[in-house]
Structure 1
Amino acid sequence: MPTLVEPKLIAGNANKPLAEAIGRRMSLYRGKSVGLVDARVERFNDSEIFVEVFENVRGEDMFVIQPTSNPANDNLMELLIIADALRRSSAARITAVIPYFGYARQDRRTKARTPISAKLVANMMVTAGIERILTMDLHAAQIQGFFDIPVDNLYASPIFALDIKNQFDDLSDVMVISPDVGGVARARELAKRINAPLAIVDKRREKPGEVAEMTVIGDVTGKRCIIVDDMCDTAGTLCKAAEVLLDHGATEAHAYISHGVMSGPAVGRVTNSVLKTLVLTDSIQPTEAVKGAPNIRILPTAPMFAQSILNIWNGTSVSSLFETDSLGPIYEGIL
């Protein structure tokens, strides 16, 4: 169906390099320039956020690119205020492109008298005028149900599979590892894509952020192990899991993580760990420390997000990008 309006991109300050890269990829796909809408997102002296859009957006299909990563509250408020500014400027549709969805770990009540913050954030986004969400690797799939608007949840596993096939000459001794029981479905998806066996590291936590005990479920002897997870925060669990795998006979330990939160001592832990490589996506803007770490690599998500935005704009399938046949050509020459 022909579209009368152009897709327009606008970005907050959370990950400007990714937003600009998405614009460049869209320009390449369309054969015409797609840049970021001219706007300013600034702070007053008391840290209040102010947004001003300098271009006409009346009747336009707007895509706001803004991961809600650290500082989560500031970046979330930027997203909400940008959406409000666009809604009051008569934009036809507002889609929030949130490569990393903050507050996703607070998706249920784990104890009495605790919030479900992910649901609260969903309500705030809808109230601000956002009509569609495009995100990647939600921490919990049920968060999609927190919204009464369409949610497209992309997956990093197809990108990981393409990279693994390029990086590992022989996949016969490769094994995919889930770092906990809750991540088995994610690990199984990647294992199917590269036709590799699956094992699990069962962990028991005494309290959040601390792991008391780890047990390997499966035989990892002589295997090059690839740990796959949706996020790496302080990297304590990840580095300990790598040590446990080597203690159980694995020859190498690698990790593929969708979102590199990398807070606190994470970079130092990874650099000094037994991990041969840690591969992150750029859903969260990497710090200079992350970029400079010798055993950390960054995979681009701009090609996938650019094609997803174009598919949403055109009214075509986004789920087609879950398949290697569709995503492979987009990443040809990149990975």
Structure 2
Amino acid sequence: MTTMLPGTSERSLVLVSGRAHLELAQDVAQELGIELLPTSAYDFANGEIYVRFGESVRGADVFVLQSHTSPINQWIMEQLLMVDAAKRASAKTVTVVQPFYGYGRQDKKHRGREPISARLMSDLFTTAGADRLMSVDLHAAQTQGFFDGPVDHLWAMPILTDYVRTRVDTNNVTVVSPDAGRIRVAEQWAARLGGGPLAFVHKTRDVTRPNQSVANRVVGDVEGRDCVLVDDLIDTGGTISEAVKVCKAAGANSVIVAATHGVLSDPAAQRLSECGASEVVITDTLPIAPEKRFSQLTVLSIAPLIARAIREVFDDGSVTSLFDGNS
């Protein structure tokens, strides 16, 4: 395999990766049939980061892949430096590939004197020289409007629903949203799983206390049903674990948890393994350390989706076509 994927009119595609989730980047490169561009990256004693590409990227369409995982600020900074390096090395275009969009949950002001961090993230990548952003299942779709350029919002639902469909009786499924705000997503899930009923968990949250909410009750009929509890991400696992318990207490036959991003900050693994879910299904948009894995956890590969989207962008094709007109 080569480091560049030839295209039409002598164009070439180059994939580079930061250090946050090298395994995913290698999987994407394999799907594309190329090698990752050789890159040097290391930390100075004071924490500053150095990056340098080992081969020329002049005139190439460069895709810079980095998962915004912990320590998230370090990996965001590394990706910004890689974008700047590509631009200064005369890349034709630079596309930021961030499977998980760091700071994406801070997409609006809940109280006075707060930042809109998701907007700042887009501004930082614009300043660094990014021409395009690509991400999977943004926490808020409006984040697409923060970047002054094309944004490819990839959709992991087909991957998740195809798998979950093999794990449940589609004639006895209720799709459950962890809160009222994600009912629209639950509706899309239900349509893909055969059009069963919906339910949602009524919860309360104190905006002054991060990663804490209270699941009060489930609204909808889950008694005797196989429930699929869906969300975009799982961080500390508190909300989703309590939602599983509420569904079980309401008479659910079983509960499968499905989410795109497994942030899995401590003590998520313990909570999820003990909450009563029969299975927790996520994708590998973020690396899952061995100590965060547990017997009920299933991790699906997101690499084929990202590779297909990169290929469509490079070929001036349609990313939307990957999702049957839904994006």
Matched residue, 1:20? 26
TM-score by length of 1: 0.92
8 A Cα contact 1:3 1:314, kept in partner: no
Partner of residue 228 from structure 2, selected from 226, 229, 249? 226
TM-score, with structure 2 as normaliser: 0.94
Q: Displacement, 1:212?
A: 3.1
Unmatched segments (≥5 aa) in structure 1: 28-33, 327-335
> How far is 1:213 from its partner?
4.2
Partners of 1:110 and 1:66 in 2: CA distance: 28
**Percent identical residues:** 37
Deviates further, 66-75 or 102-111: 66-75
State the distance in 2 between where 1:3 and 1:257 align: 40
> Which residue of the other structure, out of 15, 24, 29, is the alignment partner of 1:9?
15
The residue that corresponds to 1:66 in the other structure is: 66
Q: How far does residue 261 in structure 1 lie from its aligned partner after superposition?
A: 0.4
Residue 55 (structure 2) pairs with residue 49 (structure 1)? no
Q: 1:257 to 1:213 in 2, by over 3 A?
A: closer
- Conserved? CA contact 1:69–1:101, under 8 Å: no
Match of 1:332 in 2: none
Deviation at 1:250, TM superposition (A): 0.4
Unaligned runs of 5+ in 2: 1-6
User: What is the CA distance between 1:314 and its match in structure 2?
Assistant: 0.1
Cα displacement (A) at 1:3: 4.1
Structure 1 residue 211: Cα displacement = 2.2
Which aligned runs of 4 or more in structure 1 are off by greater than 3 angstroms?
none
After the TM superposition, which residues 1-335 of structure 1 pair with which residues of structure 2 at under 5 Å, given as runs? 2-27=8-33, 34-168=34-168, 170-195=169-194, 196-206=196-206, 207-291=209-293, 293-323=294-324
Q: State the number of aligned residues.
A: 317
Aligned CA-pair RMSD: 1.4
CA distance in 2, matches of 1:185, 1:125: 30
Q: Which residue identity lines up with residue 18 of structure 1 in the other structure? A: L
> 1:67 offset after TM fit, Å?
1.6
> C-alpha distance in 1, partners of 2:60/2:148?
22
CA displacement 1:22-74 (0-9 Å, x = unmatched): 011111xxxxxx01000111110111000011101000010001122211110
Cα distance in 1 for partners of 2:64, 2:291 equals 27
- The residue that corresponds to 1:331 in the other structure is none
Deviation, 1:216, is 1.1
CA distance in 2, matches of 1:90, 1:166: 48
Contact kept, 8 Å, 2:215 with 2:242, in 1: the verdict is no
Q: CA deviation at 1:2?
A: 3.0
Q: In structure 1, give the amino acid aligned to 2:25.
A: A
1:210 CA drift (Å): 2.2
Quick one: distance in 2 between partners of 1:216 and 1:8? 48
Mapped contact 1:227–1:255 kept (Cα < 8 A): yes
CA contact (8 A) 2:215 2:246 kept: no
For residues 103 and 294 of structure 1, the distance between their equivalents in structure 2, rounded to whole angstroms, comes to 29
- Whole-angstrom CA distance in 2 between matches of 1:132 and 1:216: 40
Q: Secondary structure at the match of 1:166?
A: coil
Q: Displacement of 1:185 after TM fit?
A: 1.5
Q: Give the 3 Å change call, closer, same or farther, for CA 171–301 of structure 1 in structure 2.
A: same
Separation (CA, whole Å) in 1 of partners of 2:113 and 2:246? 36
